[in-house]
Structure 1
Amino acid sequence: MTLQVHTHKHLLGTKGLSATELTSILDRASYWEEYPVKVSNHLQGRFVANMFFENSTRTRFSFEVAEKRLGAEVLNFTAAVSSVQKGESIYDTVRTLESMGIDAGVIRMKPNGLLAELAQKIKVPLINAGDGNNEHPTQALLDLYTMRKHFGHISGLHVAIIGDIRHSRVARSNLWALRTLGARVSFCAPAEMQAAELAEYAPYTTIDEALKADVVMMLRVQLERHEGSLFRSAEEYRAAYGLTVERAAKLAPHAIIMHPAPVNRNVEIDDELVECDKSKIFTQMSHGVPIRMAVIERALS
Structure 2
Amino acid sequence: MSPELQLDSHGRLRHLLTLEGLDAGLLTEILDTAEEFDKTLRGPEKKLPLLRGRTIINLFFEPSTRTRTTFELAAKRLSADVLNLQMAASSTSKGETLFDTLKTLEAMQADMFVVRHEASGAAHFFAQHAAPGVSILNAGDGRHAHPTQGLLDLFTIRRYKSGAGRPGPDCFRKLRVAIVGDVLHSRVARSDIHGLRALGTTDIRVVAPPTLIPAGIEQMGVRVCHRIDEGLDGVDVVILLRLQKERMLGAYLPSMSEFHRDFGLTRKRIEALRRDAIIMHPGPINRGVEIEGDMAYGPQSLILQQVQHGIAVRMAVMAMILGPPQRRAADGRRGLRRARSAA
> What aligned pairs does 1:1-301 form with structure 2 within 5 A after superposition?
1=1, 2-7=3-8, 9-35=14-40, 36=43, 37-123=45-131, 124-152=134-162, 153-183=171-201, 184-200=203-219, 201-205=221-225, 206-212=227-233, 213-223=235-245, 225=248, 227-231=250-254, 233-301=255-323
Amino acid at match of 1:137: P
Which whole-Å CA distance do the structure 1 matches of 2:6 and 2:138 have between them?
Answer: 12
Flag structure 2 segments of 5+ consecutive residues without an equivalent.
Answer: 163-170, 324-343
Q: Give the Å deviation of 1:119.
A: 1.0
Q: Give the Å deviation of 1:4.
A: 3.7
- Deviant stretches of 4+, over 3 Å: none
Aligned residues: 300
Determine helix, strand or coil for the equivalent of 2:153: helix
Distance change (3 Å), C-alpha of 1:226 and 1:188: farther
Q: Give the Å deviation of 1:78.
A: 1.2
8 Å Cα contact 1:138-1:291 kept in structure 2: yes
8 Å Cα contact 1:210-1:216 kept in structure 2: no
Flag structure 1 segments of 5+ consecutive residues without an equivalent.
Answer: none
Q: Give the Å deviation of 1:246.
A: 0.9
Q: Give the Å deviation of 1:202.
A: 0.8
Q: Give the Å deviation of 1:226.
A: 5.2
Determine helix, strand or coil for the equivalent of 1:249: helix
RMSD: 1.3
8 Å Cα contact 1:159-1:214 kept in structure 2: yes
Q: Give the Å deviation of 1:223.
A: 4.3
Which whole-Å CA distance do the structure 1 matches of 2:274 and 2:316 have between them?
Answer: 32
Q: Give the Å deviation of 1:3.
A: 1.7
8 Å Cα contact 1:9-1:125 kept in structure 2: yes
Amino acid at match of 2:187: R
Which whole-Å CA distance do the structure 2 matches of 1:147 and 1:51 have between them?
Answer: 29
Identity among equivalent pairs (%)? 44
Which whole-Å CA distance do the structure 1 matches of 2:102 and 2:295 have between them?
Answer: 41
* TM-score, scaled relative to structure 2: 0.85
* TM-score, scaled relative to structure 1: 0.96
Distance change (3 Å), C-alpha of 1:80 and 1:48: same
Q: Give the Å deviation of 1:5.
A: 2.6
Q: Give the Å deviation of 1:136.
A: 0.2
Please list the CA deviations of residues 187-235 of structure 1 after superposition, one character each: whole Å capped at 9, or x if unmatched: 011111001121222111121122121101110013461522342x221
Which whole-Å CA distance do the structure 1 matches of 2:241 and 2:105 have between them?
Answer: 34
Q: Give the Å deviation of 1:127.
A: 0.4
Determine helix, strand or coil for the equivalent of 1:187: strand
**More moved, 34-43 vs 9-18:** 34-43
Which whole-Å CA distance do the structure 1 matches of 2:237 and 2:121 have between them?
Answer: 30
**More moved, 157-166 vs 193-202:** 193-202
Which whole-Å CA distance do the structure 1 matches of 2:263 and 2:237 have between them?
Answer: 16
Which whole-Å CA distance do the structure 2 matches of 1:5 and 1:139 have between them?
Answer: 17
Determine helix, strand or coil for the equivalent of 2:57: strand
